[in-house]
A = this chain, B = another copy of it.
Amino acid sequence: MGRPRDPLAREELLAAAVTEFVAHGLEGARVEDITARAGRSKGSFYLHFKSKEEAFQQIVEALTRDLDAAIMPPPQGSDLADAAELLLRAAAADQRVFEFLWERRAVCRMVLTGAGSMDYRHLVDGFAEKARASTLQWLRWGQAQGLYRDDVDLEVASMAVAGAYDRVARAVITAEHKPDIAGWVSEVSRLVTRGLGTPRLLALLDGLTPAAAPDRKAG
């Protein structure tokens, strides 16, 4: 029976790796700096990870898993009044995703810049495409429910909508102080519903949220 492993080593090395990857990117981060930050020897890194890239992968996979768990899938069907309310619920879910992004903003920044590495730029593309695909599903569902106009090209609109949310998300994760997430999400949501919605949806939403609109300009 040999010496037992230090139970904290792996997690401390991973935490140090996050810090270094965030600051310098995958390629700029040095194993020597990571291990020094964790107060360990350079060689001990390789007792836990096969390579620098493997540590990075594990960090990204954990983030991806948690982010997927935070994203709300589109519903399967409803009538118009229920559907409008589901849209409001989707906006609340969007807000929770943005809260998540704020809490994990450093790692998200790292991932959303492809870690400063050509080998991982597919991360950016992957996240963007996943968001657009989800948006497209929502838009298809909304159009089928009569929420969104029939003349909207959903392929293009899904790109634009996903891009709008993406840009605001980037502003959230790069802000120095926590922004007004609820207000921001609400503003984007309004742009989308007004930009794509049928007159009936707009009337419905105006009925559901009457007092909110006049106060906005003061904020």
Q: How close is A187's CB to chain B, nearest CB, in angstroms? A: 4
Q: Which residues of B contact A51 (CB under 8 A)?
A: none
Check A124 for interface membership: any CB of B closer than 8 A.
Answer: yes
Give complex CA distance A219, B121 in Å: 32
Task: Give the number of copies in the complex.
Answer: 2
Check A146 for interface membership: any CB of B closer than 8 A.
Answer: no
Say which size band chain A's interface belongs to.
35 or more
Q: Which residues of B contact A217 (CB under 8 A)?
A: 150-151, 153
Check A74 for interface membership: any CB of B closer than 8 A.
Answer: no
Check A165 for interface membership: any CB of B closer than 8 A.
Answer: yes
A2-10, A23-31, A56-64, A87-95 - interface stretch: A23-31
Q: Which residues of B contact A183 (CB under 8 A)?
A: 153, 156
Closest 6 CB pairs of A and B: A163-B167, A195-B195, A116-B118, A160-B164, A25-B118, A191-B195
